[in-house]
Amino acid sequence: MNLKSIHKVYFIGIGGIGMSALARYFKFIKKNVAGYDKTETPLTRELTKLGIDIHYHDKVELISPEYFDSDTTLVVYTPAVPNTHIEYQYFLNAGFDIKKRSEVLGLITKDTFCFAVAGTHGKTTTSSILAHLLKETGTPLTAFLGGISEDFNSNFLLEGTEFSVVEADEFDRSFLRLSPNVACVTSMDADHLDIYGSGEELHKSFRDFTNRLKPGGKLFVRKGLPLEGITYGIEDGSDYCITNLRIEHGTYIFDLNTPEATLSGVKFNKPGRHNLLNGLVAFAMAVESNSPAHRLAEALETFKGVQRRFSYKIKNDDFVFIDDYAHHPTEINAVYDAISEMHPDKKVLAIFQPHLFSRTKDFADDFAESLSKFDAIILLDIYPARELPMEGITSEWLLGKIENPKKKIVQKEELIEEIKRQNPELLVTMGAGDIGLEVPKLKKELEYAN
């Protein structure tokens, strides 16, 4: 398919974080853009402000007639949309060119110098840091991000078209549509077992992804992963290695050792060693754009963060409120470790919304172990996303596995009252569902209370 022959783009599931970035891209290059989503969100409202027509009922008659020309219209859909979707079935049966988001990303980036960030955790933070570093050093890039960068206040950046930054998503094997020049793999923990069936099958897919590199391409791998590549790590003798690490006033300060040189006194302001590793590999990848290493190191210090990635909502001596997207046991452990490192003396109340029945079922014991570490735990009901309920898989079932006397299930509308009753020193909200929509309400109430 030649994107130049496309004049109109219709999105089924336009409100997704990745889909909305693509919608912004096509609107920016002067294509007509419209779409469907099942609910209105802050993201869809931002798209509407750009002049993109969005409706929220699955009805073909709500689609503008201009999008019914199959010769000039591209239809993009998200795998989260069920096959029974009426609009999807209409376009499918009418002979339209229908493509998944990942296919379109592959087409957009194939003629660019493409940086692809893969891994079961850390994709959004790493790609956001990488986009920030490249922008700060004047690299002409387009970036498609899986979260809202606090540096750009967007999930999309267009500074030029010579370079591109994308997340290489393992869900549904989407990353096998990409052909990067430079790639990294941050982690390979078992996840998406509803797609892969086993951790080994997931690992095979990551190996297949690394074979997608263009000739002469470079692969960066966190040391210890079962892949061959340029390694990175903390105090472990990697090719790109952080040494002499210390914390001063909530900031990491360290030496950054590269194969060519050592940069001393580098600073990074995002808490958590997992974030520090994300910053390190973003730096290593950015070196491949021929940007000066010392300028990249300076830009590391000015990275602000990504919304819902260890985001401080309230931070004072008496009370701290942190919000994070963590939805896998490994990510919850990383959040716990970061809190323990930065706020070692505070009692922590964790609120967690499980995401997907299948993930809750597959990792129930690991979730229970991770959540049990916090001083107190509140569970919300499981967020189903694309799934139907599974018999016996509930938050009550998961709660029974958590070994901590201070645990309970609370409905969203009762959260404020329960938080005030428990009066924690530090509150952390975690989950990939709609818990993020509760965060502004919590912040408003708790700022007033504190």
CATH of the domain at 320: 3.90.190.20
Per the domain annotation, does 278 fall within a domain? Answer: yes
Confidence (pLDDT) at 370? 97
Confidence (pLDDT) at 194? 60
Q: Which residues contact 106 (CB under 8 A, 6 or more apart)?
A: 177, 178, 179
Per the domain annotation, does 293 fall within a domain? Answer: yes
Confidence (pLDDT) at 82? 87
Same domain, residue pair 181 and 283: yes
334 sits in which H/E element: helix 329-342
- Please write the tens of the pLDDT for every residue from 286-300: 999 999 999 999 999
Is residue 401 part of an annotated ligand binding site? no
Cβ burial of 137 (10 Å; 0-12, 13-18, 19+) is middle
Per the domain annotation, does 140 fall within a domain? Answer: yes
Confidence (pLDDT) at 447? 86
Specify whether the CB–CB gap between 348 and 419 falls below 8 A: no
Per the domain annotation, does 195 fall within a domain? Answer: yes
Same domain, residue pair 353 and 440: yes
Per-residue pLDDT band at 197 (split at 50, 70, 90): low
Same domain, residue pair 265 and 323: no
Ramachandran class of 288: left when φ > 0, alpha when ψ lies in -120 to 50, beta otherwise? alpha
What is the mean pLDDT of the segment spanning 102-125?
A: 92
Segments in 94-243 forming alpha helices (H): 101-109, 123-136, 193-196, 199-210
Confidence (pLDDT) at 416? 95
234 sits in which H/E element: strand 230-234
CATH of the domain at 32: 3.40.50.720
DSSP-derived 3-state class of residue 99 = strand
Confidence (pLDDT) at 101? 87
What is the mean pLDDT of the segment spanning 21-43?
A: 94
- Please write the tens of the pLDDT for every residue from 333-382: 999 999 999 999 999 999 999 999 999 999 999 999 999 999 999 999 99
Last residue of a domain, one of 73, 100, 127: 100
Q: Which residues contact 427 (CB under 8 A, 6 or more apart)?
A: 319, 320, 321, 322, 348, 349, 351, 419, 442, 446
Confidence (pLDDT) at 35? 98
Weakest mean pLDDT among 69-73, 276-280, 321-325: 69-73
Confidence (pLDDT) at 169? 82
Residue 54 has pLDDT above 80, yes or no: yes
Task: Give the full edge-to-edge strand order of the sheet including 32-36.
Answer: 53-55, 32-36, 8-12, 73-77, 97-100
Same domain, residue pair 398 and 325: yes
Per the domain annotation, does 306 fall within a domain? Answer: no
Same domain, residue pair 163 and 293: yes
Same domain, residue pair 218 and 281: yes
Cβ burial of 214 (10 Å; 0-12, 13-18, 19+) is middle
Confidence (pLDDT) at 223? 95
Confidence (pLDDT) at 449? 64
Residue 170 has pLDDT above 90, yes or no: no
Specify whether the CB–CB gap between 231 and 223 falls below 8 A: yes
Per-residue pLDDT band at 426 (split at 50, 70, 90): very high
- Please write the tens of the pLDDT for every residue from 300-341: 999 999 998 999 999 998 999 999 999 999 999 999 999 999
Same domain, residue pair 263 and 337: no
Is residue 360 part of an annotated ligand binding site? no
Residue 196 has pLDDT above 60, yes or no: no
Residue 402, CB-side half-sphere exposure with 13 Å CA sphere: 27
Last residue of a domain, one of 250, 269, 301: 301
CA distances in angstroms from 310 to 6, 306, 428, listed in the order given: 39, 8, 9
Confidence (pLDDT) at 450? 60
| Residue with more model confidence, 430 or 190 | 430
Residue 191 has pLDDT above 90, yes or no: no
Is residue 125 part of an annotated ligand binding site? yes
Confidence (pLDDT) at 264? 97
Distance CA 370, CA 317 (A): 26
Specify whether the CB–CB gap between 136 and 302 falls below 8 A: yes
Whole-number percent of the chain with pLDDT over 90: 82
Last residue of a domain, one of 281, 301, 321: 301
Is residue 330 part of an annotated ligand binding site? no
Per-residue pLDDT band at 4 (split at 50, 70, 90): confident
Is residue 49 part of an annotated ligand binding site? no
Per the domain annotation, does 123 fall within a domain? Answer: yes
Q: Which domain holds residue 240?
A: 110-301
Same domain, residue pair 71 and 26: yes
Count up the domains in the chain and report the number.
3
Specify whether the CB–CB gap between 285 and 130 falls below 8 A: yes
Give the chain's mean pLDDT: 93
Same domain, residue pair 339 and 373: yes
Same domain, residue pair 293 and 339: no
Same domain, residue pair 85 and 227: no
Confidence (pLDDT) at 198? 66
Same domain, residue pair 199 and 51: no
Specify whether the CB–CB gap between 68 and 91 falls below 8 A: no
Confidence (pLDDT) at 190? 62
Weakest mean pLDDT among 72-76, 187-191, 277-281: 187-191
Per-residue pLDDT band at 175 (split at 50, 70, 90): confident
Confidence (pLDDT) at 192? 53
CATH of the domain at 257: 3.40.1190.10
Per the domain annotation, does 105 fall within a domain? Answer: no
